[in-house]
Amino acid sequence: MPIPDEGFPRTAAVSPRVQVRERTGSTNADLLAAAAADPHEWPHLSVLLTMDQTAGRGRLDRSWTTPPGTAVAVSVLVRTPGVPAASRGWVPLLAGAAMTRAIATQLRGSGHEVGLKWPNDVLIDGLKVCGILAEAIPGTDAIVVGAGVNTRMSPADLPVPTATSFAALGLEADEDALLADYLLALDEQLRALATTHGDAGAAGLRGEVEALCVTLGQQVAVTLPGGDMLFGRAQRIDADGRLVVVTADVETAVSAGDVVHVR
């Protein structure tokens, strides 16, 4: 699917700047470079998006490509002046929660279940439909949050058996409404975090993320950044947004890692 002729009017009503590219390597890389070069041209909630991303990036330096027109790749620049640097680790989790809410709105009444896999993958019926990567602009309060949503990907195009898409489920996504809802929810959550000076618990955000997070209560296998494995039960999310995993009554707080739900 090419970029729609009408553009993204609902998204543009929320964002101060929406730049649409027919094709690019990475929306995150593009927005990081543009905002670093000319920060005043990219205010809070600025958006760069495409439906043909050729060199997408994810956590743990993973890369991937998708057939043109089958997924929407969107990067949003957020500014967090009221959030202490120590609390900005909540931004990727809040982005995941915001996208979970936006996708759930699209699927309302369909019978499908939408949930958040820690830290910020969005699942439909336990299968991944969206991944998120947040990257800070050094020396600033700006963070670029990239998301890739499988919208029109056929079952044959899905990269792994644990992935899904709207089309694979027989559903049609309204990309413009989806992005507008995502931006509104993300902005709402960031404002709440700033109001409490970065205290996600006091803002009610920690509870919201936990309520959406289908990882909690599951037996998990976590691949840690150094390659070590951690096995246990995902118990809760702590005040810093870390996943607390319990093994033989020993609690380990995980700040980064690749989580697999063990069935």
What burial letters (b/e) apply to 65-103, b meaning 16+ CB within 10 Å?
ebeeebbbbbbbbbbbeebeeebbbbbbbbbbbbbbbbb
Domains defined for the chain, CATH in brackets: 9-208 (3.30.930.10), 216-261 (2.30.30.100)
Task: List Cα–Cα distances, 101 to 23, 90, 124, 181, 209, in angstroms.
Answer: 27, 16, 12, 8, 10
Distance separating alpha carbons of residues 39 and 43, to the nearest angstrom = 7
Sheet holding 229-237, edge to edge: 250-254, 243-247, 229-237, 219-223, 258-261
Q: What is the SS3 assignment for the chain?
A: CCCCCCCCHHHHHHCCCEEEECCECCHHHHHHHHHHHCHHHCCCCEEEEECCECCEECHHHCEECCCCCCEEEEEEEEECCCCCHHHCCHHHHHHHHHHHHHHHHHCCCCCCCEEEECCCEEEECCEEEEEEEEEECCCCCEEEEEEEEECCCCHHHCCCCCECCCHHHCCCCCHHHHHHHHHHHHHHHHHHHHHCCCCCCCCCHHHHHHHHECCCCCEEEEECCCCCEEEEEEEEECCCCCEEEEECCEEEEECCCEEEECC
Distance separating alpha carbons of residues 158 and 21, to the nearest angstrom = 23
pLDDT tens readout for residues 187-208: 999 999 999 999 999 999 999 9
Per-residue pLDDT of the chain (263 residues; tens, 9 = 90+): 455 556 899 999 999 999 999 999 999 999 999 999 999 999 999 999 999 998 876 655 566 667 889 999 999 999 999 999 999 999 999 999 999 999 999 999 999 999 999 999 999 999 999 999 999 999 999 999 999 999 999 999 998 999 999 999 999 999 999 999 999 999 999 999 999 999 999 999 999 999 999 999 999 999 988 889 999 999 999 999 999 999 988 999 999 888 999 86
pLDDT tens readout for residues 11-42: 999 999 999 999 999 999 999 999 999 999 99
Hey, what amino acid is at 99? M
